[in-house]
Amino acid sequence: MDSSAQLFEPGEKVMYPQFGLGTIAGVTRKEVNGADLSFYRLEFPLKQMEILVPVKRASENGLRRVMSTREVEQVLEYLSCAPPTAKPQQWHRWRKKTLEQLKSGDPLEIAKIFCYLHSLEGKKGLSFTERKILLQVERMLVSEIAVAKQITETDAEGIIAGRKAAKRA
């Protein structure tokens, strides 16, 4: 029997690295290899999908609460004053590092990816893969900031755009 304490409540908004903002729909019990295990059932309305995450491995898999308002301010501060970072010489190494940063689910790491790709976009344009990653991290930041600050996604986009503009000035 899985006696692990539940960290998340049904209805709670959470971030999951591979898919972004989701909602805990409930806890489901399943028998896996003879063991009775508990799983968080996560719903991702924008992607019209649902996944199961083992309760015991939730934090190991990167499942976390939405940022606090203090953490949002730290990320926004980073967005407005982050120094441009140099891209490694080999594209596959950059991609591997970026995917590791995404998998971590750390909002500051996601902000770093966003800042780098946004600055690169202004300098030389982005490849298809880089543009896809930029859109993914921007969506993650916008949706999480909107929930954390209890504002609309449009307002969150405006805040991020304002920070990018302040950085350029």
- What distance lies between CA 80 and its chain's CA centroid? 19
Output DSSP code: residue 12: -
pLDDT tens, position by position, 140-158: 999 999 999 999 999 999 9
Q: What are phi and psi of 127, to 5 degrees?
A: -75, 170
Phi-psi map region of 33: left, alpha, beta (phi>0 left; psi -120 to 50 alpha): left
pLDDT tens, position by position, 105-115: 889 999 999 98
Rounded to the nearest 5 percent, the helix, strand and coil shares of the chain are 50, 20, 25
pTM recorded for the entire structure: 0.82
Whose tokens are 């969506």? That residue is 139
Contact by Cβ (8 Å): 107, 71? yes
pLDDT tens, position by position, 92-139: 888 888 888 888 888 999 999 998 888 888 788 899 989 999 999 999
Whose tokens are 């950085």? That residue is 167
